[in-house]
C-alpha cells in the first residue's frame, strides 16, 4: 500500500469517527445534537449538488427545488398517506428525483451560464407551486401537522422522535448510504466519464461519449440524492416550507460546495458545517446577519475560490 | 368586462415595460461579460433610494435626472473592485458574488433607510387620471411608458450607430477578435456594465414613483426579468424587449381569469417556449449552448 493510500484511509477513518462520535463531542463544545443532524442533512444536499457541479462541471443553480420537493414528498406522505418514516423517505426521493429527471430532459443541452439561468427559473416554478397551492401545501405558512414516526422492525421499535441521538444515528445511516452510493458511482467508469466531460467536453464527444445523456444521468442522480436530503430535512424539522425550494436556498447550497471545496468529495460537508454553524451564530447575535452572509459569499469568491479544502491542500503542496 | 380586460392589459403592459428596462440591462451584461448579475434588483433599489433622498432638494425631475447616473457610478465601482477579478473564471464565481452582493444591498438599504416602505412624491399633475372611464390611466403611467420607449429607442441608437455600441455588439459575438483589434476590452466591459446599471437605476426611480420603495422590491422584479430574457432568446436584445412585454401582458391577462396563477403563468410561458423553441423567440441557434 502506498503512502498516499494509507493517508487517504486514515483521513476517511477520521471523518467517520468524527461523525460517529458527534453527539458526544458537540455538547462540550457548546453545540447540540440537532445542530449536528442539520449539518449532516444540509451536507448531504451540498454533496449531492457537488456530484453534478464539482464532478460533471454543470452549474445548476436551482437544486433547492428538488430538495424542497423531497421535503414535501416526505411531509405529505406522513400527513395524508401512511405513518411510516421509510415510506416518507422513499416518497421524497421519488418526487424530487422524478421531477428533476423530467425537467433535465428540457435543459440538458444548455451550458454554463445559460444552464444556470434556466435551472434558476425552473426551480422557481416549483417554488410558486408550493407557495400558491395552499390547500395541499399550506402555502406560505408551510406544511405542518406531521412528525417522524418510530422505526418499526417488527421485533422492536426505535424511537427517533423524542431521542435526538437515535435520530442523529438514523440520519447518519441514511447519509452513509447515500454517500456510499455516490462514492461508488464516482469510482465507476461512469464516474470517470463524468470527470472527463468536466475536463474537456469536446474531446469527450470526439471519443464517442454521448455527452448529453451522461449529463442527464448525472443530473437526475443528483436530483434523487437531493430529494433524499430534502426528505430527511422534513423529518428533522417535522415541517416543510416553500423557502426550501427558493433560489436563495440553491445559492446557499452552491456556497456550501464552493466554500468547502468543489473538487473534493468531502469538501461540501465541511462547507455545510461552517455555513450552518456560522449562520446559527450570526443570526443569534445580529439582525443584520444577511449582510454578513452576503459578505461571506463575496470574500470566499474573491479570496478562497478553491474552498477550504482546496486551500489546505495547496498550502501543504 | 371590457374595461376589466383593458385595465389588466394596460397594467400588464406597464409592468412589462419595467421588466424590459430591467431585463435589457441584465441582458447587456450577460451577453458581453457572461455575468448573471443577481444584484441587478439591488441596483434598482439603490436607484430608487437615491431618488428618494434627493427629491426634497431637486424635486422629482431632478431626481429622475441625477439618480440613474449616480447608480451607474456605484455600478462602475462595483464592477471595477469586485467583478473585474472574476472575468475569465468559471461563471459560477460571478454568479455567487453578485448573489452575495444582492444580500448585502438589501440588508444595507434596510439598515440605512429602514424596513418601512418609503413614498416618493411625484408632481401632482402626473398623478391625475386622464378620464373617468379609463380611471387607471394616470398621467404618471403614461409618462412611465413614454420614458421606457424613449430609453429603449436611445439604447438601440447607442448600440447601432455609436462606436461604443458597435464595439459592444462586436464583443458580444467575439470578444477575442475585438481585443485583437486593439480595443480595450476591460474598459468596454466597464462601460457596458455601467449602461446596464444605469437602466436598473432608471427603473428604480420610475418604480419608486409608482409603487413606493421597499428594500425587497428588487428581488421581486429580478425573476421576471430572467424569464423575459429566456423567453425572448438569450443573446437577443429585441427578444428581451418582446419577452418582457409578452410576460407582462400574459400575467395581466391571467389576473382577469385566474388571479391565483398570475405569477405562475410566466413560468408556464417559459416552459412552453423552451419546449417548442429551445433557443427562445428571437434567439440565435447555438447561442444558448
Q: What is the ipTM of this complex?
A: 0.84
Alpha-carbon gap, residue B202 to B216, rounded angstroms: 17
Asked if residue B286 is part of any domain, the answer here is: no
Per-residue pLDDT, averaged over A14-43, amounts to 84
Residues of chain A numbered 237-256 and touching chain B (CB < 8 Å): 247-248, 251, 254-255
B40 assigned to some structural domain: yes
Structural domain contains residue A38: yes
Closest residue to A111, CB basis, from B108, B229, B289: B289
> Which residue on chain B is closest to A299 by alpha carbon?
B97
CATH number, domain containing residue A152: 1.10.3470
Q: What is the pTM of this model?
A: 0.88
Residues in chain A within 8 Å Cβ distance of B216: none
Q: What is the pLDDT of residue B279?
A: 79
| Residue A296 within a domain | no
- CA atoms of B200 and B181, how far apart (whole Å): 31
> Which residues of B fall within a CB distance of 8 Å from A246?
none
Residue A253 has pLDDT above 80, yes or no: yes
Cross-chain residue pair B260–A128, CB shorter than 8 Å: no
Greatest Cα pair distance in chain A: 60
Across B86-104, average pLDDT: 88
pLDDT of A214 > 60? The answer is yes
Interface contact flag, B223 A124, Cβ < 8 Å? yes
Closest-approach residue (CA) in chain B for A252: B96
Is residue B200's pLDDT more than 90? yes
The three three-digit cell numbers of residue A85, written as one number = 418514516
Assess contact for B189 and B33: CB atoms under 8 A. Answer: yes
pLDDT score recorded for residue A95: 93
Going by C-beta distance under 8 Å and a sequence separation of 6 or more, which residues neighbour residue A48? A63, A178, A182, A222, A225, A226, A228, A229
Instruction: Let me know if residue B30 belongs to a domain.
Output: yes
pLDDT in tens, B122-164: 777 777 766 666 666 777 888 888 889 999 999 999 988 999 8
Contact A294 B103 (CB under 8 A): yes
Average pLDDT over residues B182-205: 92
Within a domain: B6: no
Query: Which residue's C-alpha cell is 467575439?
Result: B174
How many residues in total does chain A contain? 317
B272 touches chain A (CB under 8 A): no
- Inform me whether the pLDDT recorded for B17 exceeds 60: yes
Report if residue B193 sits inside a domain. Answer: yes
How large is the average pLDDT for residues A61-70? 92
Whether A17 is in a domain gets the answer no
- Is residue A82 within 8 A of residue A92, CB to CB? The reply is no
Q: Which of B23, B29, B31, B92 to mutate to test the interface with A (most CBs of A within 10 A)?
A: B92
Residue B253, in any domain of the structure = no
- Number of domains chain A contains: 1
3-state SS class at A152: strand
- Dihedrals phi, psi of A143, to nearest 5 degrees: -95, 120
In a domain, A305, yes or no: no
Residue B191 lies in a domain: yes
The reply to whether B279 falls in a domain is: no
B266: closest chain A residue by CA: A125
Mean pLDDT on B272-289: 71
For residue B138, the cross-strand partners are B129
- pLDDT, residue B62, reads 87
Residue B288 has pLDDT above 50, yes or no: no
**Residue numbers of the domain that contains B199:** 15-215
Asked whether the predicted pLDDT for residue A316 surpasses 70, the reply is no
CA-to-CA separations, A92 to A20, A63, A77, A97, A219, in angstroms, rounded: 25, 14, 8, 8, 17
Average pLDDT over residues B87-111: 89
Domain count, chain B: 1
Strand partners, A151: A158
Residue A308 C-beta-side C-alpha neighbours within 13 Å: 17
The H-assigned helical ranges of B174-276 are: 175-180, 185-211, 217-232, 237-257, 265-276
Q: How confident is the model at residue B130, as a pLDDT?
A: 67
Report chain B residues whose CB lies below 8 A from the CB of A118: 230, 274
Cβ-defined contact of B92 to A53 (cutoff 8 Å): yes
Range of the domain at A195: 30-277
What is the average pLDDT score of chain A? Answer: 87
Asked if residue A6 is part of any domain, the answer here is no
Amino acid at each position: 500500500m502506498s503512502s498516499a493510500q494509507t493517508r487517504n484511509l486514515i483521513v476517511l477513518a477520521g471523518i467517520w469517527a468524527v461523525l460517529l462520535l458527534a453527539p458526544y463531542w458537540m455538547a462540550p463544545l457548546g453545540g447540540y445534537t440537532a445542530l449536528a443532524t442539520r449539518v449532516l442533512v444540509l451536507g448531504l444536499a451540498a454533496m449531492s449538488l457537488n456530484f453534478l457541479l464539482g464532478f460533471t462541471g454543470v452549474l445548476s443553480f436551482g437544486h433547492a427545488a428538488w430538495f424542497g420537493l423531497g421535503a414535501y414528498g416526505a411531509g405529505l406522505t406522513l400527513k395524508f398517506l401512511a405513518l411510516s418514516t421509510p415510506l416518507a423517505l422513499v416518497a421524497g426521493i421519488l418526487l424530487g428525483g422524478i421531477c428533476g429527471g423530467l425537467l433535465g430532459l428540457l435543459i440538458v443541452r444548455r451550458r454554463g451560464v445559460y444552464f444556470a439561468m434556466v435551472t434558476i427559473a425552473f426551480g422557481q416554478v416549483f417554488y410558486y407551486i408550493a407557495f400558491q397551492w395552499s390547500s395541499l401545501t399550506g402555502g406560505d405558512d408551510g406544511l405542518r401537522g406531521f412528525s417522524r414516526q418510530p422505526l418499526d422492525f417488527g421485533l422492536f421499535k426505535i424511537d427517533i422522535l423524542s431521542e435526538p441521538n437515535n435520530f442523529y444515528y438514523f440520519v447518519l445511516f441514511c447519509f452513509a448510504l447515500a454517500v456510499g452510493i455516490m462514492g461508488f458511482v464516482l469510482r465507476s467508469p461512469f464516474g470517470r466519464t463524468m470527470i472527463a466531460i468536466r475536463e474537456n467536453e469536446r474531446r469527450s464527444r470526439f471519443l464517442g461519449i454521448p455527452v448529453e445523456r451522461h449529463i442527464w444521468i448525472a443530473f437526475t442522480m443528483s436530483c434523487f440524492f437531493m430529494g433524499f436530503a430534502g426528505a430527511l430535512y422534513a423529518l428533522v424539522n417535522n415541517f416543510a416550507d416553500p423557502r426550501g425550494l427558493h433560489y436563495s436556498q440553491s445559492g446557499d447550497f452552491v456556497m456550501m460546495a464552493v466554500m468547502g471545496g468543489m473538487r473534493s468529495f468531502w469538501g461540501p460537508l465541511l462547507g455545510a458545517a461552517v455555513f450552518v454553524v456560522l449562520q446559527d451564530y450570526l443570526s443569534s447575535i445580529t439582525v443584520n446577519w444577511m449582510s454578513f452572509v452576503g459578505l461571506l459569499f463575496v470574500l470566499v469568491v474573491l479570496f478562497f475560490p478553491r474552498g477550504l479544502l482546496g486551500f489546505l491542500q495547496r498550502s501543504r503542496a | 368586462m371590457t374595461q376589466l380586460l383593458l385595465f389588466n392589459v394596460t397594467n400588464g403592459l406597464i409592468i412589462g415595460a419595467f421588466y424590459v428596462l430591467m431585463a435589457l440591462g441584465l441582458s447587456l451584461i450577460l451577453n458581453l461579460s457572461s455575468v448573471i448579475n443577481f444584484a441587478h434588483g439591488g441596483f434598482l433599489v439603490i436607484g430608487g433610494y437615491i431618488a428618494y433622498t434627493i427629491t426634497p432638494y431637486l424635486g422629482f425631475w431632478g431626481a429622475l435626472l441625477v439618480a440613474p447616473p449616480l447608480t451607474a457610478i456605484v455600478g462602475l465601482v462595483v464592477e471595477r473592485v469586485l467583478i473585474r477579478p472574476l472575468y475569465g473564471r468559471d461563471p459560477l464565481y460571478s454568479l455567487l458574488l453578485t448573489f452575495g452582493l444582492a444580500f448585502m444591498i438589501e440588508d444595507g438599504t434596510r439598515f440605512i433607510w429602514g424596513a418601512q416602505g418609503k413614498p416618493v412624491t411625484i408632481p401632482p399633475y402626473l398623478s391625475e387620471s386622464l378620464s373617468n372611464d379609463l380611471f387607471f390611466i394616470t398621467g404618471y403611467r403614461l409618462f412611465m411608458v413614454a420614458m421606457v420607449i424613449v430609453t429603449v429607442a436611445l439604447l438601440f441608437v447607442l448600440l447601432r450607430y455609436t462606436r461604443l455600441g458597435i464595439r459592444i455588439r462586436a464583443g458580444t459575438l467575439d470578444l477575442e477578435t475585438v481585443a485583437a483589434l486593439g480595443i480595450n476590452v476591460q474598459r468596454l466591459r466597464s462601460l457596458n456594465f455601467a449602461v446596464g446599471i444605469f437602466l436598473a437605476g432608471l427603473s428604480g426611480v420610475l418604480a419608486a414613483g409608482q409603487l413606493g420603495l421597499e428594500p425587497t422590491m428588487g428581488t421581486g422584479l429580478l425573476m421576471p426579468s430572467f424569464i423575459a430574457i429566456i423567453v425572448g432568446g438569450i443573446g437577443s436584445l429585441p427578444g428581451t424587449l418582446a419577452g418582457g412585454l409578452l410576460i407582462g401582458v400574459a400575467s395581466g391577462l391571467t389576473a382577469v381569469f385566474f388571479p391565483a396563477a398570475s405569477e405562475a403563468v410566466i413560468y408556464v410561458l417559459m416552459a412552453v417556449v423552451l419546449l417548442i423553441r429551445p433557443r427562445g423567440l428571437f434567439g440565435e441557434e447555438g447561442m444558448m449552448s
